[in-house]
Structure 1
Amino acid sequence: MSHWTPAQALDRLRAEGSEFSTLFRHGSLEVEFYKPDQVDRQQPHTRDELYVIATGNGRFVVQGRECLVHPGDVLFVPAGAEHRFYDFSEDFGTWVLFYGPQGGEAA
């Protein structure tokens, strides 16, 4: 069994000195934890992804649409889409789930 809490993921980020850490891989699924430091510098990804907000809050924009985000929210981002978190709280952190083939799954 694999089990992580946000606190465990944050401990791992601190130990690695990184803003993101890969915690689990199985088939095409890759689970990461991401905690940007003041600015979200992400570039579009090559696979579809889901974000599950774990801690904190902020704003999110993808393909020109934006929304407020809070713990428990789930966000879908298709492969190749420009997206960004901004105006997020200092304690903001999110689970990131990449899946499927390069280029994303067919609609």
Structure 2
Amino acid sequence: MKITLQEAISQLTPEQRFAQVMQHGTMSVELYVPDKVDPQQPHAQDELYVIVSGTGQFRNGGEVYPFGPGDVLFVPAGREHRFFDFSDDFQTWVIFYGPEGGEKPQL
């Protein structure tokens, strides 16, 4: 399986700012390009964001981090999170994986 960034971008519309571009088992990959506001809600699976372009701030639970191209952000299933104050060129890959409710950390 392979997809280019340009192929993923071609699947976006003004109304649909994310596109699922790959799936295998519990894993799915999306391209997410919010327009000025990030309206997403907590998700049932663990997720990784791999920032393609742009900069901004990311709220992950009670913590806030700056982000930029090449950064990888982890969010456990069910946690409130949001991108804000992001630049107009912000794009990120989103990788969902694992069981609903998230994977249990190893002790």
Q: Report the TM-score when normalising by structure 2.
A: 0.92
Q: What residue is the counterpart of 2:16 in the other structure? A: 18
**How many residues are aligned here?**
105
Q: Counterpart of 1:103 in structure 2: which amino acid?
A: G
1:6 paired with 2:5, answer yes
**Equivalent runs, 1:1-107 vs 2, <5 Å:** 2-14=1-13, 17-107=15-105
Q: Counterpart of 2:57 in structure 1: which amino acid?
A: R
Deviation at 1:9, TM superposition (A): 1.7
Q: Counterpart of 1:72 in structure 2: which amino acid?
A: G
Which one has the bigger helix percentage?
1
Q: Secondary structure at the match of 1:85?
A: strand
Moved over 3 A (4+): none
Q: Percent identity?
A: 53
Q: Secondary structure at the match of 1:59?
A: strand
Structure 1: 5+ residue stretches without partners: none
Q: Report the TM-score when normalising by structure 1.
A: 0.92
Deviations 1:60-82 (A, max 9, x none): 01111111111110000000000
Structure 2: 5+ residue stretches without partners: none
Aligned equivalents of 1:5, 1:53: Cα separation in 2? 15
Deviation at 1:17, TM superposition (A): 4.3
